[in-house]
Amino acid sequence: MPSHLPGAWAGQAAWTVLDTHFAAGAAFLDCWQTWRSDPQRPRMLHYVGILSLSQLQALSIPHHASPATEDLARALADQCKDLDTGFHRLLLHGGLVSLTLCVGDAKPVLAELTFRANTVWVQPDATWDKWATKALARCCQRGAHLQWQTAPAHASAWLAEAGFVDAQGSTDLSAEFNPRWSLGPRDTEPANRTPAHCAIIGAGLSGASVAQALALRGWQVTVLDRHPAPAGGASGLPAGLVVPHISADDSPRSRMSRVGVRLMLHHARTLLAEGHDWQLTGVQELQRDTGTSLWHTQAAWIQPARLIQRWLDHPNIRYLGASSVAGIQWDGAAWQLHDTSGATLVQADVVVCANATGSVPLLVSQHTAPLLSTGLLQRLQSLQAVHGTISLGPTPQPLPAEWPAHPVNGHGSFIPDVPLDTGRSWLAGATFEPEAIPECAGPAIAPLAQQHQANAKKLSELLPAVGTWLAPEFDSGRVTHWSGTRCVTHDRLPLVGPLTEGAQSSLWMQVGMGARGLSFSALGAQLLVARLCGEPWPLEASLARSLDVARTGRRRGATRKPVSDD
């Protein structure tokens, strides 16, 4: 443990450590133990560790630890199973400790990091040179303390050139990052945003996930929704699948979905009752085009409304139901959120729009449109509303021999047995139909009977035996339904980030989850809050750009049509 800790973090809201040689995690475990034992600890501890794939695989086996850190070692090992190269966000100690494991070579990893470290630990590594040292400096806050163990001969010169001063020691160096030149925004803007009051519009997966993340950090959060209770929109589906997306080229969408699924499963394990609210059943994916089958071990069904309720169950969160936000306006000091009569519902320092296509009329208004970043209006107006209907009915007991014992997805999906409030049920679907965005023209939705027929057809193609077994239920009209409207972007990836220019933006967004809110909402919340609060990002910077609100839109003239997220 560096000599400046724990004294340096006393009274701070958050502290960030960069460890360039995470190895077996011994330094992290000591840091975590020191943090949890310190009455003057910062509220949040962010730890970023760089390690190789072989070191990562060893982490999944609890190694010998001191008696004080044995429980921490087991908790770390439990979350490190089945990880691979790339960035991985692990939430520990009730979410107050965030560990970002960066698996790969140090130089390319450093280029993907986006944060300002307070403490830096450098371990002996043959790849270090002056260029890697400059990349390290890019991740430091002015005043950051660096400790370099067994430093090479030229390390002192590299550090001085990169802006580190007062280097002490010979082979074990310590130094402070305090360059004589200006660091631009890093000098003028605080590294970590002080907790304040945030208003979140929308109480679905997108809004509730952000609310929970901010509340953990000490923010006061007001969540507003037009429905009386949370999860009144598309997030209120009876049950959905948490399953990673697979692609032949391992696209950014696939890579991000793996991170998002792990985060969602972590929330389910820590907040929900397994077997009642969710179940780690595994999911079979049938690929119609190739006729192949994939088995996803780390996949589950989940009842999202119950997770949303747990996310919002925090003393720092206030829920205002039946509150239709008709306008938002900046008065020079705070955001004013108005209802349809013009009365102020709430005022806040920061606003997050998480109300799907309902955000469009709010943001294109005369009060907010002039404040938006260049090109955002066009991106917002390209959002699509897609209506979806799920067919469901009582699960026969015992399960018929023709039925799988686990969920299956592919072209549509089938969940054979979920304990809903109305009884144990099967679910099949869902339909995808374009729907009119509020205040815009759009096509009409097909009659309910046709939507059930569409789900029955998908089910017969996905699982012919199950489709045959349930055909009489569909034909007789005995199946029931749940319907909701999803928000879809041009590239089927969410819009997550600030809506105005500048690092201290006070207007943010998380929308466009489509049919993958269970895969992306927790990840999007981690990314949004990391950017808002000045924390390490949960993804490589190049991947995070795929979710940015200001990313490049679709090509002009491209055909716009809804695409199923099956």
pLDDT at 441 exceeding the cut of 60 = no
Domains of the chain, residue spans: 7-186, 196-244+304-383+491-551, 384-488
Residue 435 token pair: 């729907």
Mean pLDDT score, 480-500: 93
Residue 4 confidence (pLDDT): 83
Q: For residues 183 and 552, what is the distance between their CA atoms, to the nearest angstrom?
A: 28
Give the pLDDT band (50/70/90) at residue 373.
confident
Question: Which residues fall within 8 angstroms of residue 386, CB to CB, at 6 or more apart?
Answer: 432, 433, 434, 435, 485, 486, 487, 488, 514, 562
Q: For residues 308 and 286, what is the distance between their CA atoms, to the nearest angstrom?
A: 29
Give the pLDDT band (50/70/90) at residue 264.
very high
CB 383 within 8 A of CB 444: no
What is the tens place of the pLDDT at every residue in 311-340? 999 999 999 999 999 999 999 899 999 999
Residue 70 confidence (pLDDT): 84
Residue 63 confidence (pLDDT): 61
Residue 62 confidence (pLDDT): 61
Least confident stretch, 61-65, 76-80, 277-281, 546-550: 61-65
CB 329 within 8 A of CB 205: no
Quote the Cα angle for 87-92-96, to 5°.
105
Per DSSP, 482 falls in state E
- CA nearest to 21, candidates 117, 118, 150, 122: 122
Residue 507 confidence (pLDDT): 96
Residue 74 confidence (pLDDT): 86
pLDDT at 555 exceeding the cut of 50 = no
Residue 457 CB: number of other CB atoms within 10 A?
Answer: 14
Mean pLDDT score, 374-378: 83
Least confident stretch, 228-232, 287-291, 378-382: 287-291
Least confident stretch, 172-176, 436-440, 488-492: 436-440
Residue 75 token pair: 């908790």
pLDDT at 14 exceeding the cut of 60 = yes
Whole-number average pLDDT of the chain: 90
Q: What share of the chain in percent tops pLDDT 90?
A: 72
Mean pLDDT score, 2-29: 90
**498 φ, ψ (degrees, to nearest 5):** -75, 150
Q: For residues 334 and 351, what is the distance between their CA atoms, to the nearest angstrom?
A: 9
Q: What is the DSSP string of 33-74?
A: HHHHH-TT--SEEEEEEEE-HHHHHHHTSPPP--GGGHHHHH
Please give the residue that has the higher pLDDT: either 82 or 317. Answer: 317
- For residue 105, the one-letter residue type is D
Mean pLDDT score, 177-203: 90
CB 511 within 8 A of CB 487: yes
Phi-psi region at 560: left, alpha or beta (left = phi > 0; alpha = psi -120 to 50): beta
3-state SS class at 500: coil
Q: For residues 478 and 488, what is the distance between their CA atoms, to the nearest angstrom?
A: 31
Please give the residue that has the higher pLDDT: either 554 or 289. Answer: 289
Mean pLDDT score, 278-297: 92
Q: Which class in CATH covers the domain with range 7-186?
A: alpha beta
Residue 558 confidence (pLDDT): 39
Question: Which residues fall within 8 angstroms of residue 139, CB to CB, at 6 or more apart?
Answer: 18, 110, 113, 115, 116, 117, 120
pLDDT at 134 exceeding the cut of 70 = yes
3-state SS class at 489: coil
Give the pLDDT band (50/70/90) at residue 563.
very low
Q: For residues 447 and 460, what is the distance between their CA atoms, to the nearest angstrom?
A: 20
Q: For residues 460 and 469, what is the distance between their CA atoms, to the nearest angstrom?
A: 10
Residue 184 confidence (pLDDT): 87
pLDDT at 508 exceeding the cut of 50 = yes
CATH number of this structure's domain 384-488, picked from the four choices 3.30.465.10, 3.40.50.1820, 3.40.190.170, 3.30.9.10: 3.30.9.10
Residue 560 confidence (pLDDT): 39
pLDDT at 565 exceeding the cut of 60 = no
Residue 15 confidence (pLDDT): 97
CATH superfamily, region 196-244+304-383+491-551: FAD/NAD(P)-binding domain (3.50.50.60)
Give the pLDDT band (50/70/90) at residue 523.
very high
- CA nearest to 119, candidates 148, 92, 96: 148
Question: Which residues fall within 8 angstroms of residue 462, CB to CB, at 6 or more apart?
Answer: 286, 288, 408, 409, 410, 411, 412, 413, 414
Please give the residue that has the higher pLDDT: either 533 or 63. Answer: 533
Give the pLDDT band (50/70/90) at residue 67.
confident
The pTM assigned to this predicted structure is 0.93
pLDDT at 411 exceeding the cut of 90 = no
